[in-house]
Amino acid sequence: MPPLLEVRNLRKSFRVNDPLGKSSGRLVAVDDLSLALEAGETLGLVGESGCGKSTTGKLIMQLLKADRGEVLFSGVDLAQLPPRQMRPYRRQLQIIFQDPFSSLNPRMTVGAILSEPLLIHNLCRGRKVRERVIELLEKVGLSADHEHRYPHEFSGGQRQRVGIARALAVEPQLIIADEPVSALDLSVQAQILNLLQQVQREHDLSYLFIAHDLAVIEHVSDRVAVMYLGRIVELTTADELYRNPRHPYTEALLNAIPVPDPEQPRPKPLTGEVPSPVNPPGGCTFHPRCPYAQSLCRTEAPPLNPCGDKHLTACHFSDQVGRYLLRKYSA
């Protein structure tokens, strides 16, 4: 049986214009990206701003057209489907956005927002629609009397609950959650993460969970892919990733997380900043910031290769990585 979602060699580039409108080059947002996701699984996609993680989500949703590569959903290549035939798959694939303020139509009541997908996909009609809307509201921790309110009457956390209810309305198999908690306060973030895990168990959902916060990703994911400048640099199980990172960028991310424990060592900064994706460094794109870099890294890009059981890394010297890891996490 094929995996629920399989992405093969996906690539997407954008034309970049200078301020006068002249084309000044191409930005490769996602390059040669492959991943697979099983039913009921959560795959985390982590990286810093501009690394291509949101573009990947949009490419899978077919909200953006890829330059090349395949997006296989239950074995069917979505990238090849004409819009009409794509429609039944849109029901299977839903997305939750980061900003609960701009992803809900301010002129529609919550009831209208939640019934729209039900009507579009002909899932129910008449009195049944309202029953289903109320059922959805209750499932995400809101109540029936919220039905007639508008998005502005809700707090950020409640709006994100509406976003989740809208995604669940069509009973999808896969939800792409693009930074679903990064706009929320800490106490609300925990509520939403718990809710996402609860509905996953109830509906046997798969998640592609996109976030920049490694601790959040590690908490919700079974496996994690780390992205840097459009490529996956490491892919392994969530446990293995923080106990035994095998890519220097993953190690640097782990070192940079501020931990709420004064006994722990101070985060150790990485030198330099993320290079411009319009003009990425040659060889391994991480080499200018990498403490392990040698001359080979400047000339040759390392492929994503297995380095252990269910563990892929794109580093020439992955066997040395871990030397600079600040904190040791025990089992």
Partner 1 sequence: MPARLTVENLSSYFFTRAGLVKAVDDVSFRIAGGETLALVGESGCGKSMTALSLLRLLPEPGRIVGGEIRLDGKDLLRLPQIEMRRIRGNQISMIFQEPMTSLNPVLRVGDQIAEVLRLHQGDSPQQALEQAAELLLQVGISDPGRRLRDYPHQLSGGQRQRVMIAMALACDPQLLIADEPTTALDVTVQAQIMDLLAGLKEERRMATLLITHDLGIVASNADRVAVMYAGQIVETGSVPQLFDNPLHPYTQGLLDCIPRLGQKEALAAISGQLPNLRLHQDGCLFIDRCPGPCTPCGNQMPQLEELESGHWVRCWRY
> Which residues in this chain contact partner 1 in the complex, by CB under 8 A?
48-49, 155, 157-158, 185-191, 193-194, 197, 212-216, 218-219, 239, 242-243, 252-262, 264, 266-270, 273-274, 329-330
Please identify, using beta-carbon distances, which residue of 131 and 138 lies nearer to partner 1: 138
Q: Which two structure tokens, joined as six digits, stand for 7?
A: 């992405």
User: Cβ distance 224 to 218 under 8 Å?
Assistant: yes
Q: How far is the CB of 181 from partner 1 (least distance, A)?
A: 9
User: Rounded to an integer, what distance in angstroms lies between the CA atom of residue 76 and that of residue 90?
Assistant: 13
Please identify, using beta-carbon distances, which residue of 25 and 267 lies nearer to partner 1: 267
Q: How far is the CB of 90 from partner 1 (least distance, A)?
A: 31
Alpha helices (H) in 4-141, listed in sequence order: 53-60, 83-92, 110-120, 127-139
Please identify, using beta-carbon distances, which residue of 122 and 271 lies nearer to partner 1: 271
Please identify, using beta-carbon distances, which residue of 61 and 192 lies nearer to partner 1: 192
Among 132, 133, 139, smallest CA distance to 161 is for 139
- Specify which residues 7 forms β-bridges with: 35, 71
Please identify, using beta-carbon distances, which residue of 124 and 326 lies nearer to partner 1: 326
Q: How far is the CB of 6 from partner 1 (least distance, A)?
A: 27
User: Rounded to an integer, what distance in angstroms lies between the CA atom of residue 159 and that of residue 236?
Assistant: 33
- Specify which residues 72 forms β-bridges with: 6, 77
Q: How far is the CB of 299 from partner 1 (least distance, A)?
A: 25
> Which helix (H) or strand (E) is 25 found in, with range?
strand 23-37
Q: How far is the CB of 219 from partner 1 (least distance, A)?
A: 4
